[in-house]
A and B are shown apart, each in its own frame.
Chain A
Amino acid sequence: MTVELFNQEFESIKGQLKSFLIRITASVADAEDIVHDTYIKALEKLNTFRGESSLKTWLFTIASNIAKDNLRAQKRWVENVTDIAKEAALSNKQFFEEAMHIRATSPQGQFEIKEHIAFCFTCISKSLPLEQQLCIFLKEVYEFKISEIAIILSGNEAMVKYYLHSGRTKMINVFDGRCALINKEGVCHQCSELNGIFNPKQKMQEEITKIEMAREAENKDKEQLFDLRTTIVRDIDPFQSKAAELQLHHLKHNRQVMEKYLEENSV
């Protein structure tokens, strides 16, 4: 492959790579650094690329390896990250001022419930072991085949299936126990609470019924509801959506809160 062709192809994959990395790292700076490092590393090794996998698979392999190296030493988040982050936000006037400023001035400052569902998915996924998190995103959001994920993670297909199954089961249980959109007993109402803050004129119930996952909550089983949730995540680019700046601000806050929490609590 020529450098020129590689550059063209890299440009077409870069957006997906960056969105994958922000969801894995929860850090814009880390995601951008890893995209850059992936480009450099791939360019250096371009003569070793034989086309045995697609270029996209090859680039995701390099990026995943760099991300794993970066994240290995970091503690995983906790399942109730959104509760802890909410508590911290309530006593952080600056956070709300910044958020309201973004909401009022940025073309990417809208608040949409679907965007918050995708944001929440990223936060909860960070409570999974890293391999499970990588597999979930690679399969459910970036639609790689199991055989391709095995290449990306330098493992075998059986292990990928194990990570997917255990990761999915854990996330399904977390959402079922927490998310009020799919379970009347759910304890987390952050979507509606934030919608009330950012979109005070909207009728929440009307907004919820626009979301298939919430509309079908009583008719579908937990696996199907999880699939509907991943469809929402798949359809949103965390850097390009109309809510991107607001959600990335929110994500930065949650990451800082989690880092502090994990340090203080030795989880």
Chain B
Amino acid sequence: MSVKAQTIRSTFSRETSISIDINADVSIIWALLTNAVDHPRWNSTVTFIEGQIALGEKIRLKSTLDAKRIFKLTVKEFVPGKRLVWGDSQGNRVYTMGQNSNGSAKFSMAEKIGGLMFPLYAGMIPPFDQSFEQFANDLKKESETIMNSK
């Protein structure tokens, strides 16, 4: 099932978000999200990641969004099985998740970038939609593969 990202633009900000149902336990989703060294194995939007994903830690990440740039991000919130936030001065990426009553999980991801200077550099930031969709599908596929393993 394809899942679509949504982007809301305003003069001083841009916010992209996506939500997906995953037939897996949230602990698997959380483990996949927070185990940095494992990301390149299943997450086709990340080509390099270094550091520990834990509260207050700094991570360095290379994304397919901009292959030449290394994003230096700080983990700002870390609530196991519920919420993870990392970001820099330009914006934050927020991951949230919860178990549905039918045993599946609802996973959401959003990133808002903006500020007074945003109109000056907005044109240089590529759209996130496709990357978000790719990430959500990768996460769903890997989580469900693990959940269904014997």
CA distance A257 to B66 in the complex (A): 41
B41 touches A162 (CB 8 A): no
Q: Does B28 contact A (CB under 8 A)?
A: yes
A158 engages B24 (CB within 8 Å): yes
Residue B149 interfacial (CB < 8 Å): yes
CB contacts (< 8 Å) of B25 on chain A: these are 156, 158
Q: Which residues of B contact A (CB under 8 A)?
A: 24-25, 27-28, 31-32, 35, 38, 41, 145-147, 149-150
Supply 9 further A-B pairs (C-beta < 8 A) apart from A158-B24, A162-B32, A166-B35: A158-B25, A158-B28, A159-B28, A159-B31, A161-B28, A162-B31, A162-B146, A164-B149, A166-B38
Closest CB in chain B relative to A232 CB, distance in Å: 21
Q: Give chain A's interface secondary structure class.
A: helix
Residue A203 is within 8 A (CB to CB) of chain B in the complex: no
Which residues from chain A contact B32 at a C-beta distance below 8 Å? 162
Residue in B35, B38, B41, B147 whose CB lies within 8 Å of A158: B147
Using Cβ atoms and an 8 Å threshold, which residues of chain A touch B31?
Answer: 159, 162
- How many angstroms from the CA of A156 to the CA of B25 in the assembled complex? 10
Of A156, A159, A161, A170, which is within 8 A of B149 by CB?
A161
Interface residues of B, dominant DSSP: helix
Please measure, in the bound complex, the distance between the C-alpha atom of A161 and the C-alpha atom of B143, giving whole angstroms. 10
Complex-state Cα separation, A251 to B32, whole angstroms = 32
- Total residue contacts A-B, CB cutoff 8 A: 30
- Which chain A positions have C-beta within 8 A of B35? 166
Interface-central residue, A146, A156, A161, A164, by most chain B CB under 10 Å: A161
In whole angstroms, how far apart are the Cα atoms of A166 and B149 in the complex? 11
**Which residue of A is nearest B38, CB measured?**
A166
Are A165 and B149 interface neighbours, CB within 8 A?
A: yes
Report the minimum CB–CB distance from B128 to chain A (whole Å): 27
List residues of A (167-226) whose CB comes within 8 Å of B's CBs.
169-170
Q: In the docked arrangement, what's the CA distance between A164 and B150, Å? A: 10
Given the complex, which residues of A lie within 8 Å of B28, measured CB to CB? 158-159, 161-162
Shortest Cβ gap from A164 to chain B (Å): 7
Contact A162 B145 (CB under 8 A): no
Q: What are 23 A-B contacts defined by CB distance under 8 Å? A: A146-B150, A156-B25, A156-B27, A158-B24, A158-B25, A158-B27, A158-B28, A158-B146, A158-B147, A159-B27, A159-B28, A159-B31, A161-B146, A161-B149, A162-B27, A162-B32, A162-B146, A164-B149, A165-B145, A166-B38, A166-B41, A169-B41, A170-B41
